[in-house]
Amino acid sequence: MKRALAALAVTFALAPAGADAAEAFPSRPVRVVVGFTPGTTTDITARLLADRLTHRLGQNVLVENRPGANSGLANQLVSRATPDGHTLLIGTLSLVTGPLLYRDLPFDPKTLEPVSLLVLAANVICVYPGLPAKSLKELIGLARSQPGQLKYGSSGRGSSAFLTLELLKSLANIDMREIPYKATSQAVVDTMSGQIDVYPPNIVSAFPMLKTGKLRPLAVTSAKRSPAMPDLPAVGEFVPGYDATTGVYGILVPRTTPRSVIAQLEKAIMDVSKDPLYRDRLQADGAEVVGSSAREYAAYLDAQRKRWSALFNKLGIKPE
């Protein structure tokens, strides 16, 4: 009898004290799901984060690329994952614009919980070097003198280029014709050759292209000048109220992930955002490192929904 009681006492002593203690976090490798191909700004950000998070969490953090449906497949995968913090999504602005464009998304944005806003990256409005416009002011003047004649490239409705230039058209009262592309790389090539006049690449991917001299940069699309390109004006200096920072990258998890796990991830990401090996690399490429709290990220997404919903209403764009 005494032996039985002793064995029972050992069993209780070794048992976890509640459901939250059943599995310490992280207990295995963590994956960061990216909805775009390797080499994109989203992917680069994810890999830099994964490297530094591995040191913070004490577990391998691996990047998994699941491109398709403008990141819809990745969003769906994470929204349906086990809500234990071991599957993270690096979300983009498509979380905001997707529901404004499509009725039948492969996922419900409400099933994802914000953890931290990682990085903001503006675009750079670039033109064909042969275009008689050496400043944004001159581009606006040229567009006004030739309504609907200038052509800009985009990846379709809701894409970064679309948002950037449709907002410019709306606030500057100009008209340019959209030319949709399946691949942004072809839009860049066609701008370099003069097949189209205007294209606004993401600032991170713009750096190597601008070094070739085959694109002429006119302005950054953020509210203020980029420290990485301080001589390039912000669009808002010419067009009051303009701010189109469409490179919005943050970490989200399935909605029912325990708050304690979200808090642990939030702190780890905020710590990584202060790490020079992470921060300096992204800032050198023109990105703004944020590392926000979960609450701040949620508020930022809400503000973006209001901003782009207003533009879509003005353009008459409704979910299809």
Write the DSSP string, 132-179. Answer: S-SSHHHHHHHHHHSTTTSEEEESSTTSHHHHHHHHHHHHHT---EEE
**Of 204, 312, 151, whose CA–CA distance to 320 is shortest?**
312
pLDDT value, residue 171: 95
Residue 136 pLDDT class (50, 70, 90 cuts): very high
Checking if the pLDDT of 14 tops 70, the result is: no
Checking if the pLDDT of 4 tops 70, the result is: no
What class is the 29-120+246-315 domain?
alpha beta
Mean pLDDT of the residues in the chain = 90
pLDDT value, residue 69: 79
For the chain, what percent of residues have pLDDT higher than 90? Answer: 74
Helix extents (H) in the chain: 2-14, 41-57, 72-79, 94-101, 136-145, 160-172, 184-193, 203-211, 259-272, 276-284, 294-315
Residue 16 pLDDT class (50, 70, 90 cuts): very low
Checking if the pLDDT of 269 tops 90, the result is: yes
Our CA angle for 227, 163, 157, nearest 5°, is: 145
* CATH superfamily for domain 124-237: Periplasmic binding protein-like II (3.40.190.10)
**Higher-scoring residue by pLDDT: 109, 32:** 32
| Range(s) of the chain covered by CATH 3.40.190.10 | 124-237
* Stretch 109-117: mean pLDDT: 96
Residue 71 pLDDT class (50, 70, 90 cuts): confident
In total, the chain counts a number of residues equal to 320
**Of 160, 249, 150, 275, whose CA–CA distance to 206 is shortest?**
160
Q: Which residues contact 172 (CB under 8 A, 6 or more apart)?
A: 140, 143, 238, 239
Residue 153 pLDDT class (50, 70, 90 cuts): very high
The pairing of beta strand 247-254 with beta strand 87-91 = antiparallel
| Range(s) of the chain covered by CATH 3.40.190.150 | 29-120+246-315
CA distance 34 to 157: 21
Distances (CA, A) of 41 to 165, 179, 247, 287: 20, 23, 8, 10
